[in-house]
Structure 1
Amino acid sequence: MRERVRRLGYAAYERLLRSELSGAPSHVAVIQDGNRRYARKKGADTSDGHREGAETTEALLDWCDELGVREVTLYAFSTENFNRPEEEREHIFDLVEQKLRTFADADRVHDAGVCIRAIGETSMLPDRVQDAIDYAEGRTAQYDRLNLNVALAYGGRAELLGAARDVAAAVDAGELAPEDVSVDTVEQRLYEGPTRDVDLIIRTGGDERTSNFLPWHANGNEAATFFCTPYWPEFRKIDFLRAIRVYQNREDSWRTTRARRALALVSAVEDAEVPQARQILGRFRDALPNSERAAVDDEYDAAD
């Protein structure tokens, strides 16, 4: 009886969260933290934690496809993870190899149009993992409905350092003028993989830090962040929906801020520029939720 009540409560909460959402981020990045601590809590082997975490990853992809997320980046193995015990590293490598091949052959991956890419210093990985990467990328290269980037042997500072060195070398060789260095110049030298900026970073396991993950794509876009206490194998769909709600609230707040800035512009400009300023304000106002429009309209009327 208690389990039935719990399931009904979960289902009701999930419906409530879904009703509060009006959209989804385009690119979600996930730091899948807590597999080892979950295993210790359960009195199980570390390998069991990683295996159950991989099942959560599969569920996450289904949730993203359902909500219309276009890109997902998973922090699967960092450069710092090479410091872990050899037995644990080898198990992770075995699991990554297995999952890459399984995903690449899965009907639901092909039906959903998932394009798999690996990002990071993949040459540092064992040959069997590199072969699995090549296999998965080759099998899914033709798709573009959902991009799945798997960060393996990845470090954000190393990525930016490599890009900076490439730019410096091009300048030194006379192939690039310093004044021509731009955002595009740097982006062309980053790891091939992410096709858009990160909108939302999710981290499980209780730590509130982003751990050197996608600094260019996330920090530059001021991505929303969602930190939660469940370990990755415990992460549920309602946790994911709560993360999406955090992103949506942040976007609503930004739209409101931009609309108020436009209102200040209307109040400050010369008379000759008023029509243009009002046009700008109108565009921002239309992007606001109904609950915010009334407040902006009141201030707009007061500014007349």
Structure 2
Amino acid sequence: MIEWVRRGVARSYERLLRREIGDGPTHVAIIQDGNRRYARQQGGDAPDGHRAGAETTSAVLEWCEELGIEELTLYAFSTENFDRPEEELEPLFDLVESKLYEFADADRVHDSEVCIRAIGAVDLLPDRVQEAVRYAESRTEGYDRFRLNVALAYGGRKELLGAARDVCRAVGEGNLSADAVDVDLVDARLYDRPVRDVDLIIRTGGDERTSNFLPWHANGNEAAVYFCAPYWPEFSKVDFLRAVRTYESREDSWRQAKAKRAVAMVRALGETELAEGRALVGRLREQLTSAGMREVTAELETQERETAD
């Protein structure tokens, strides 16, 4: 009876959170932490926790589809994870391999046109895992409605270092001008195919750090970060919706702060700068809330009237 009431309350809270969420983020990245601690808590071994976590991963894909999220990146295996004991690594590689094949053949993946790809030093993984990666990528390479990036043998610093060396090599060989190095060029050297900037990072398991995860696309984009206590196998839809709500609250706050800065800039404009002010308002149109946009526009009109007088 108590469990039935608890589930009913959870469903009601889910509906409440869903009503509070608007468009939501485009790209969510998740650090799936706590599988091993969950297993110990349940009296099992690390592989048991990883298998339980894989079920949560499947559920998150469905939640992303419900909310219209277009890209999801999962931190499945870091370069530091190679230091784990062999008796833990082999079952983990087994699970990654089997899940890649399972996702690649799942009807819902093809119905939803999910493009699966791995990011990271995949060549460091066992051959059987590399083959599973190639299979999943080839089976879904024609899709682009939803992108699922699986970070395997991934390390953010290693990734940036590789891109920097690639750029330096190209400049040194005379194949690239130093003046031509820009954001798009670095993007192209990070991955074979582009990855969107990350809007929201979620980390489960209680730790409050981003662990060298997607520094270019997340930290560079000032992504919102949501830390929560549940271990990854315990991560629920309510937790996910709370994370999305946190992202939207941050975006609203950021836009309000930007509107205040824009108003201050408009107030400082002189007569010859009012045309530039109009251009500024045009550029901000998609970045501010409606209220913020009205405030900036009203201030600009006031400045124009005072200048005319």
Fold match by TM threshold 0.5: yes
Deviates more, 1:178-187 or 1:111-120: 178-187
RMSD: 2.2
Q: Structure 2: how far apart are the matches of 1:84 and 1:27?
A: 30
> Structure 1 residue 8: deviation in Å?
1.4
> Structure 1 residue 55: deviation in Å?
0.3
**Aligned residue in 2 for 1:127:** 127
Alignment of 1:95-244 (within 5 A): 95-244=95-244
Q: Any conservation in 1 of the 2:259–2:295 contact (CA below 8 Å)?
A: no
Q: Any conservation in 1 of the 2:200–2:247 contact (CA below 8 Å)?
A: yes
> Structure 1 residue 284: deviation in Å?
4.3
**Aligned residue in 1 for 2:268:** 268
Deviates more, 1:172-181 or 1:73-82: 172-181
Q: Any conservation in 2 of the 1:120–1:154 contact (CA below 8 Å)?
A: yes
Cα displacement string for residues 209-233 of structure 1 (whole angstroms, at most 9, x for unaligned residues): 0101111111110000000000000
Q: Any conservation in 2 of the 1:114–1:144 contact (CA below 8 Å)?
A: yes
Q: Structure 2: how far apart are the matches of 1:122 and 1:22?
A: 36
**Aligned residue in 1 for 2:82:** 82
Structure 1 residue identity aligned to 2:84: R
Closer, same or farther in 2 for the Cα pair 1:300/1:238, shift >3 Å? farther
Deviates more, 1:246-255 or 1:269-278: 269-278
Q: Any conservation in 1 of the 2:277–2:300 contact (CA below 8 Å)?
A: no
Q: Any conservation in 2 of the 1:156–1:213 contact (CA below 8 Å)?
A: yes
Q: Any conservation in 2 of the 1:259–1:285 contact (CA below 8 Å)?
A: no
Closer, same or farther in 2 for the Cα pair 1:174/1:106, shift >3 Å? same
Closer, same or farther in 2 for the Cα pair 1:259/1:278, shift >3 Å? farther
Alignment of 1:20-35 (within 5 A): 20-35=20-35
Closer, same or farther in 2 for the Cα pair 1:164/1:280, shift >3 Å? closer
Cα displacement string for residues 85-123 of structure 1 (whole angstroms, at most 9, x for unaligned residues): 111111111001100000000000001110000011111
Cα displacement string for residues 244-282 of structure 1 (whole angstroms, at most 9, x for unaligned residues): 011101111121122112211221111344365257448
2:36 is the counterpart of 1:64 = no
Q: Any conservation in 1 of the 2:285–2:293 contact (CA below 8 Å)?
A: no
SS at match of 1:159: helix
Closer, same or farther in 2 for the Cα pair 1:124/1:287, shift >3 Å? same
SS at match of 1:36: helix
Q: Structure 1: how far apart are the matches of 2:287 and 2:148?
A: 33
> Structure 1 residue 185: deviation in Å?
2.2
SS at match of 1:74: strand
> Structure 1 residue 295: deviation in Å?
7.6
Q: Any conservation in 2 of the 1:156–1:214 contact (CA below 8 Å)?
A: yes
Structure 1, gaps ≥5 residues long: none
> Structure 1 residue 191: deviation in Å?
2.6
Displacement over 3 Å in runs of 4+: 272-276, 278-287, 292-304
Q: Structure 1: how far apart are the matches of 2:65 and 2:286?
A: 30
Structure 1 residue identity aligned to 2:155: G
| TM-score normalized with structure 2 length | 0.91
Cα displacement string for residues 129-185 of structure 1 (whole angstroms, at most 9, x for unaligned residues): 111111100100110011000000111110011111111111111112222222222
Q: Structure 2: how far apart are the matches of 1:281 and 1:116?
A: 39
Cα displacement string for residues 275-300 of structure 1 (whole angstroms, at most 9, x for unaligned residues): 6525744854994166x678879978
2:257 is the counterpart of 1:257 = yes
Closer, same or farther in 2 for the Cα pair 1:167/1:279, shift >3 Å? closer
> Structure 1 residue 76: deviation in Å?
0.3
| TM-score normalized with structure 1 length | 0.93
Q: Percent identity?
A: 63
**Aligned residue in 2 for 1:288:** 289
Q: Any conservation in 1 of the 2:267–2:299 contact (CA below 8 Å)?
A: no
Closer, same or farther in 2 for the Cα pair 1:168/1:293, shift >3 Å? closer
Q: Any conservation in 1 of the 2:31–2:204 contact (CA below 8 Å)?
A: yes
Aligned residues: 303
